[in-house]
């Protein structure tokens, strides 16, 4: 790797939006680390990207396992010595559209564990690499469902709460960050993927393009924002 090549890491990068984020970052000249908890699908995704001569590598990381996250962070530090862009893309959607008080509590717990605590522990483990170089861009893949206004309508309560808390985390870390480290949340829209379903109107390619502008913003760029298609969303 060239000394000044920027390094990006994408969680849940083996499929859907995550895969496309990895591809587009690599096309833009980044050294990209694709992480997934599934070694087989992760390696297959990386092999496909490498066949297009893209600078992508695989690293196993389970965002529900703090030991796995810490090991991945240590490996990135040892092998690359830097991390410029971190995209928290991995997430789950378990809702069956039941009332929050009627759903299986384990579904709520699993959703918040993955969608909130997973992102929190990843940021906590990798942010020191950004602090070392006084530079970093963190992007949390959220949802418009995470806006406070969505809490007044029923349905998908576990997912909504997980993204609401993720948005709060984004603002808090932005307020606490120093130097040129910026963190923002993004709603990719309704995307055709395993999570979004085949009837969704937006492709992963379109979604990735609407997200990645935040990976290369300058020091004057936003931090602590919540965006969709480069437009600020009301919290």
Active-site residue 145, yes or no?
Answer: no
- The three-state (H, E, C) secondary structure of the chain, written as one string: CCCCCCEEEECCCCCHHHHHHHHHHHHCCCEEEEEECCHHHHHHHHHHHHCCCCCEEEEECCCCCHHHHHHHHHHHHHHCCCCCEEEECCCCCCCCCCCCCCCCHHHHHHHHHHHHHHHHHHHHHHHHHHHHHCEEEEEEECCHHHCHHHHHCCCCHHHHHHHHHHHHHHHHHHHHCCCEEEEEEECCCCECECCCECCCCECHHHHHHHHHHHHCCCCCCCCCCEEECCEECCC
> Catalytic: which of 19, 93, 135, 159?
159
For the annotated catalytic residues, the residue numbers are 159
């Amino acid at each position: 790797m060239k000394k000044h090549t920027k390094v990006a890491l994408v969680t849940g990068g083996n499929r859907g939006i995550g895969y496309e984020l990895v591809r587009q970052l690599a096309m833009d000249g980044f050294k990209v680390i694709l992480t997934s908890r599934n070694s087989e699908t992760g390696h297959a995704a990386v092999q496909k990207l490498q066949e297009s001569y893209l600078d992508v590598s695989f690293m196993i990381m389970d965002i529900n396992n703090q030991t796995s996250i810490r090991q991945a962070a240590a490996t990135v530090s040892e092998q690359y010595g830097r991390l410029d862009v971190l995209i928290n893309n991995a997430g789950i959607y378990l809702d069956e559209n039941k009332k929050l008080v009627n759903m299986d509590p384990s579904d709520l717990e699993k959703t918040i564990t993955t969608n909130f605590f997973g992102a929190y522990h990843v940021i906590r483990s990798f942010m020191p690499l950004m602090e070392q170089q006084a530079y970093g861009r963190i992007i949390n893949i959220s949802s418009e469902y995470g806006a406070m206004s969505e809490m007044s309508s029923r349905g998908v309560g576990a997912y909504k709460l997980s993204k609401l808390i993720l948005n709060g985390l984004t603002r808090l870390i932005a307020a606490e960050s120093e130097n040129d480290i910026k963190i923002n949340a993004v709603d990719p829209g309704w995307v055709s993927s395993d999570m979004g379903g085949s009837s969704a109107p937006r492709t992963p390619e379109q979604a990735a393009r609407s997200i990645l502008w935040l990976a290369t913003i300058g020091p004057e760029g936003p931090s602590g924002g919540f965006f969709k298609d480069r437009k600020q969303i009301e919290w």
